[in-house]
Every structure is written in structure tokens, then in C-alpha cells.
Amino acid sequence: MDQAEAEAKARYGYDQMAEMYTEHVSLEMTVPSIVRSVFESFAQQVQQQNPGKVADVGCGPGHITAFLASLGLDIFGIDNSPSLIEIARNSHPEVQFEVGQLASLPVETDSLQAVVSRHSLIHTPANLVPAALDEFARVLAPDGLLFLSFFGSAAATSHGEAFDHAVTTAYQLDVDVMGDLLSSAGFTEQMRMIRQPKKSERQLPHGTFFAQR
């Protein structure tokens, strides 16, 4: 599967399930959680280093984009699904949202202070992940920051294995492999976190990285 096919499948799936997906995630940032705390920490780091433009790549219905904007980030959202972008614009009119592709972001080179990629790589086959990381590096200014999270793998040997997802096929990504790929893309790892799933969640770990270009 090439990038165009992967993006087309994801776009179709999220367009079809946009309302249901929005209902599932829209309250996520309204209650205290480890995930919310990690986003707050990342926002503080961006502001302390050198405030500038931030892109939320794979923003979905825009709830995380809006939350980070409320913390003071100059942020806009990009997503592959026109239906989700329409929902985001209607729900958060104070924030800019636009349709765009993960591997060819509508952003100038070296123009962003930070990129947020919260589980936006999960529908990208493992062999296409390096190109996506290269694209994140392209749009970031020198010393720019990356927030990257994804479903980790059940075991090191499971990197790249597909699993059923409510929207479309998703892939496990091993945390150690992802650390190596970030380094190859020119990033310096600052922090990694592995969160174990709750009983109500899919039983795969969640990997999160803070990294600097």
C-alpha cells in the first residue's frame, strides 16, 4: 500500500464516521487525565522555548487543537477528512482548520515552532512512517518541537502489524523502533512515555515522545 492509498482509506473511513468519532472523543480534554497533563507540559515547553506557530496534524474534530489554543499556543489544525474539518470549524470557530495530507503538509519549510501528532500515524503502514517523520522535520524550524503519540506494539516483533480499528486498518508501532526512526529523521529525543491501556481501551500500550529537531 502506498501513501495515497493509505490516506484515501483513512479519509473515507473518517468521513463516514465523523459524527460518531466526534462524539467518542469530544469530551476527552474536559476532564483531568494523564493525557491532558502531558499536553499541558508540552504546551509549557513550547511557550518557554520560543513561542511560534504550531500545527496539530491529524486534528480530527479539533478538540485537542482548541484545548492547546486555550493554553496560549498559536495553533491551527490539519486533517485528511473534510467532514472532520467541517465539524472542527463549526465547533471551534476561533481556531483555524484546513484539509491537508500527512505526508505533504500545506506548510512552508522551517516555518513551525512545534508539531503535534497525536495518534495521527496509526493508519500509516510502518514502511511509510519514516517519510511522515521526514515531513514533520521539514516543516519545523531548527530546534522546533514534536509531540508524537501512537499505539505501541504488543511486542517488539509486532512492529507494523495491523489491527482492527473502528474506522479503518491501524498499525502497531514499537516504541524503540520509533525512537530510532525519530533519530534517523534528525530529531533528538527529549522524553518518552509508555502508558498502559485502561480496561475500557484497546489493549495496546500508548507511546508518546517529545523530540526536538
30-47 per-position pLDDT tens digit: 999 999 999 999 999 999
End-to-end CA distance of the chain: 28
Residues 6 or more apart whose Cβ sits within 8 Å of residue 63: 25, 26, 27, 28, 29, 91, 92
How large is the average pLDDT for residues 194-207? 89
Look up the pTM and report it. Answer: 0.95
In this predicted model, what pLDDT tens digit does every residue of 60-76 receive, in sequence order? 999 999 999 999 999 99
Contact 178, 169 (CB under 8 A): no
Question: Looking at the DSSP assignment, which residues form a beta bridge with residue 74?
Answer: 53
Q: Report whether 165 contacts 159 (CB < 8 A).
A: no
Who's near 3: CB < 8 A, 6+ residues apart?
101, 102, 103, 124, 128, 131
Number of domains composing the chain? 1
Q: How many Å apart are CA 131 and CA 7, to the nearest integer?
A: 13
Rounded to 5 degrees, φ, ψ at 56 are -100, 105
* Domain hosting residue 191, numbered range: 3-212
Residue 166 has pLDDT above 90, yes or no: no
Position 134 scores a pLDDT of 98
162: left (phi over 0), alpha (psi -120 to 50) or beta: beta
d(CA 16, CA 202): 22
CATH label of the domain that carries residue 38: 3.40.50.150
pLDDT of residue 45: 96
Residue 99's pLDDT band, with cuts at 50, 70 and 90, is: very high
Distance CA 57, CA 78 (A): 5
According to DSSP, residue 115 is labeled E
pLDDT confidence of 127, banded at 50, 70, 90? Answer: very high
Q: What is the mean pLDDT of the chain?
A: 95
Of all residues in the chain, the percent with pLDDT exceeding 70 is 100
CA distance 36 to 14: 23
Residues 6+ apart with CB under 8 A from 109: 138, 139
